[in-house]
Amino acid sequence: MIKQIILVCFLVTLMADDMLDMGLGIATGLSAKNAYLYLIILLILFEKAIVKERGLLQLPVVHAIFVLLIGDASLSILSVHLLADYGGYDLFGKIVSLKGVLVDPYFVFLVFFYGVFSGRDAVRVARWLVGFIVVINFVTLLDVYDMPDLGLIEFRKGRLSGPLGQPNEYGAFLVFFIPLMFSMALSSRHMSGRVFFALGTIVSFGFLIQTVSRSSYTALMTGTLFAIWWLRDGIDVKRVMRWGGALILVGVAVAALFAQQVVLQFEERILWSTIHGDADQITSGRTWLWATALDFQMAKPWTLLFGVGWDSFTDFHDFSAHNAYINYLFSLGAVGLSLFVALIVTMLRYGKKGFFAARSLEERVMLAGFVAAWFGMAVVMMGGTFNKPWLFIWAYSGLCMRIVYEAARERMGEQNAGCIDSVPGMSRP
């Protein structure tokens, strides 16, 4: 119970530090967030040292992919520094970037995966995590009406910038957590919980519309449809579509309250560009940017395999990649991109297997939302690169992987639980 309380405190600190930009720290790497993170890691290591019956390495495939990806990025930084140092190369900046983009998310995944011992505990902490995000969105809603003006959000050229900053990043964050709120609303045992998470889903969907983020719209819709199709043997499709449609309609009505602020951007970015624009106009210049990056790599074919160097896209271009896959291909080549995609695929496959093996309805519904959330992220990353949402995403993923692991352990025992693919009954109910 103490570890769970510490995890919740860590979430609160994470919200304050990353979402509200409070800067809780005294220097790079010396933040309150890192203090909590390292404290929890030490507690877990101490616990593992005295508790002999539980293995230290659980779900080894996930750890292996993460470690290989971090190792590949580290090697690229070292290689550029020693062999191909170009003008303006910032070695310290690249190391800090690697820590923030890959190392810290992996540590967050670890503390939430190892920080709970049972599927029941994982569900409890997951509800706290999603519930806290719902509360933040309720506070944001009050800020929209200046009751009071908290300065959490603003409208930039008619587009909502939420607690995470710019519209596309906030949109990606909502793409991941809206399916989770919806799953919590469906699985809550008490009416108060259902109402709370249903209202959170409605408000969040209304905020998503106001971001006027085309990639987020597409990702939420296609991610949900992919998840329904993938899990079709184990879900009541009609019930999900019925409740989902009702919440969407109410969410649209909520967004309509702010129509004056978003309608012009909606018409310009989506309707006009889709009907009258060419590929560059429709994608806001993204296709030109991607083509330029690929042309650069084609001129140096070895970079297609190994990349130009970690976090190097903006060193050679005036803009960010606006596509996570292009960014990994440019930075780490086909090797790094393959590892990144493997990480996404592993989350989806394990989420599906855990869905069919979970003992309780609450866990099954939670994992269904998890699969929809990751499908949505896989799509939304085609239109952007994001930083702030990842710590929350990997925190929740760690909790879901605990549920998956415990389901496998119940079926096969401690020794074989890590080999989820070999566990019978984890592909069909």
> Cα dihedral angle (399, 351, 423, 123), rounded to 10 degrees?
30
User: Taking a C-beta distance cutoff of 8 angstroms, is the pair 351, 425 a contact?
Assistant: no
Asked whether residue 377 carries a pLDDT value surpassing 90, the answer given is: yes
Can you give 303-323 as a three-state secondary structure string? HHHHCCCCCCHHHHCCCCCCC
| Residue 26 parent element (H or E) | strand 25-27
Q: What residues contact 98, with CB distance under 8 A and at least 6 apart?
A: 70, 73, 74, 77, 310, 311
In this structure, the number of other CB atoms found within 10 A of the CB of residue 54 comes to: 12
Asked if the structure places residue 357 within a domain, the reply is yes
Q: Is 48 helix (H, G, I), strand (E, B) or coil?
A: helix
User: Taking a C-beta distance cutoff of 8 angstroms, is the pair 396, 126 a contact?
Assistant: yes
Asked whether residue 415 carries a pLDDT value surpassing 90, the answer given is: no
- In this prediction, residue 417 carries a pLDDT of 55
User: Structural domain of residue 99, as residue ranges?
Assistant: 2-422
Asked if the structure places residue 429 within a domain, the reply is no
Compute the mean pLDDT over every residue in the chain, rounded to the nearest whole number. Answer: 79
Q: Is 266 helix (H, G, I), strand (E, B) or coil?
A: helix
Report the distance separating Cα 122 and Cα 372, nearest Å.
Answer: 18
Q: Is the sign of the CA dihedral 306, 348, 388, 9 positive or negative?
A: negative
Asked if the structure places residue 129 within a domain, the reply is yes
User: Taking a C-beta distance cutoff of 8 angstroms, is the pair 49, 65 a contact?
Assistant: no
Query: What is the pTM assigned to this prediction?
Result: 0.86
> 83-92, 94-103, 220-229: which has the minimum mean pLDDT?
83-92
Asked whether residue 312 carries a pLDDT value surpassing 90, the answer given is: no
**Tokens describing residue 259:** 């129509």
Q: Average of pLDDT values for 329-334?
A: 92
416 vs 51, 65, 354, 405, CA distance in Å? Answer: 19, 19, 15, 10
Q: Average of pLDDT values for 276-305?
A: 73
State which of 88-97, 181-190, 363-372, 412-421 shows the largest mean pLDDT: 363-372
- In this prediction, residue 54 carries a pLDDT of 54
Q: What residues contact 89, with CB distance under 8 A and at least 6 apart?
A: 80, 81, 315
Report the distance separating Cα 30 and Cα 298, nearest Å.
Answer: 41
- In this prediction, residue 276 carries a pLDDT of 47
Asked if the structure places residue 428 within a domain, the reply is no
- In this prediction, residue 286 carries a pLDDT of 73
Asked if the structure places residue 12 within a domain, the reply is yes
281 vs 215, 286, 289, 294, CA distance in Å? Answer: 14, 9, 12, 19
In this structure, the number of other CB atoms found within 10 A of the CB of residue 75 comes to: 15
**Tokens describing residue 337:** 């991109």
Asked if the structure places residue 262 within a domain, the reply is yes
DSSP code for 152: S
Helical ranges in 318-360 per DSSP H = 324-357
Domain count, the chain: 1
Q: Is 195 helix (H, G, I), strand (E, B) or coil?
A: helix
Asked if the structure places residue 56 within a domain, the reply is yes
Asked if the structure places residue 102 within a domain, the reply is yes
Q: Between 62 and 136, name the one with better pLDDT.
A: 62
